[in-house]
Amino acid sequence: MQEYIIQNIRNLNTAKLMEYLQYRGEKQAKLFALAEQIRNTSSFGKKVELRSVIEISNICNQKCRYCGMGKNNDILYSLSKNEIIERIKILANVGRRTILIQSGENTTQRFIDDISTCCSEALNLYPDIKIILCLGNLKKEQYQQLRNSGAQRYILKFETGNPKLHKYCRPNDTIKNRLECIQNLIDTGFQVGTGNIIGLPNQTLDDIVDDLILTTKFKLSMVSATKFIPNANSEFKNNKIGDINLTLNFNAILRILHPECLIPSTSSLELENKNGQMTGLMIGCNTITVHDGTPANLKANYHIYSDNRFTPAEQHCRNIIAKAGLVAEKYLI
Ligand code: SAH
């Protein structure tokens, strides 16, 4: 039975993928157990990467309708080079070795130069750290510059693979361009992560099956799905929150499709579902992000997900990792 499910998933049998996404109750528990077992027997075993995020700027070229960043008279901010290095030092001094640098999309060359300088300085100070960038769509030469500065990984989610829905949710971009950026990142030599959002307005189950298939078209090191959260600062503020079961099933199927990828158990799972993030760890996820990198006084201006977003501190993350029977590591790849 287990082999049959694994085969159907890896053969990208769309009818079966559709069926598995809708599993609930006992069948869902079996799907989860299978995903957990595949994670545990992957090269990662029971290890979980514990990383920190620094949200360095909320200035953004895009106007994604699900995102509240830089909208409604927000105070715009951008950390200076020195401030970024200071934040990295604080994180490194508490032992963190994987640092996610995230921001709105800002293609100005000055911004990219500054981040490149920060990456090379940080890696000079701490040669054993891993830097993950999540900065949106940039020119291929800018990706190359960032890669040359030593940053090892980049996350660029396609968000939804449906071209029409993509345009609706991300009016300043196209799916074609977003996918080209993902491929450029891979060609540049980054370890790349991508994925989608589950529960976007008008998104169908067919779209979600297609998204699963789309993740297999790239050579990925990381893959992720967040549950859609109606952000009060965004145009989708009145839309329905994403379905937790669908998101969990999607993540479990991702694990079966990508045994050797890092998959985060995101804070989006926790909103409205106590223990959602721990559940993520028990269905095959193996990455947790600590929200201790962004200066406290700026956090309120960085509106992704939700303003009452759950931003777990280190101890909470360590507790749920231990409760799930797993072991926190500085990095896994
Ligand atoms: N500007 C960067 C970073 C975006 S924020 C970029 O374009 O890549 C990081 C991720 O958060 C996004 O890729 C998206 O998948 C997720 N996200 C943003 N708003 C969300 C929401 N309201 N609900 C669920 N996920 C969301």
Whose CA is closest to 160, among 72, 220, 250?
Answer: 250
Higher-confidence position of 303 and 290: 290
Number of CB atoms found within 10 A of residue 134's CB: 16
DSSP 300: G
H/E element, 83: helix 81-93
Measured in angstroms, how far is the CA atom of residue 313 from the centroid of ligand 1? 20
Q: Is 105 in the pocket of ligand 1 (CB under 6 A)?
A: yes
pLDDT over 70, % of the chain: 98
Of ligand 1's listed atoms, the one at least distance from the Cα of 155 is 8
pLDDT in tens, 14-60: 999 999 999 999 999 999 999 999 999 999 999 999 999 999 999 99
Which of the four pLDDT bands, split at 50, 70 and 90, describes residue 308? low
Angle 52-92-153 from CA coordinates, rounded to 5°: 50
DSSP 264: B
Which of the four pLDDT bands, split at 50, 70 and 90, describes residue 261? very high
Whether residue 256 contacts residue 38, with contact meaning beta carbons closer than 8 Å, is answered with yes
Mutate which of 173, 198, 305 for ligand 1? The one with the most ligand atoms within 8 Å of its CB, which is 305
Which of the four pLDDT bands, split at 50, 70 and 90, describes residue 298? confident
Q: Is 162 in the pocket of ligand 1 (CB under 6 A)?
A: no
Amino acid in position 240 = K
pTM of the complete model? 0.97
Which of the four pLDDT bands, split at 50, 70 and 90, describes residue 300? confident
Q: Is the pLDDT of residue 135 over 70?
A: yes
Measured in angstroms, how far is the CA atom of residue 294 from the centroid of ligand 1? 16
**Residue of minimum CA distance from atom 8 in ligand 1:** 136
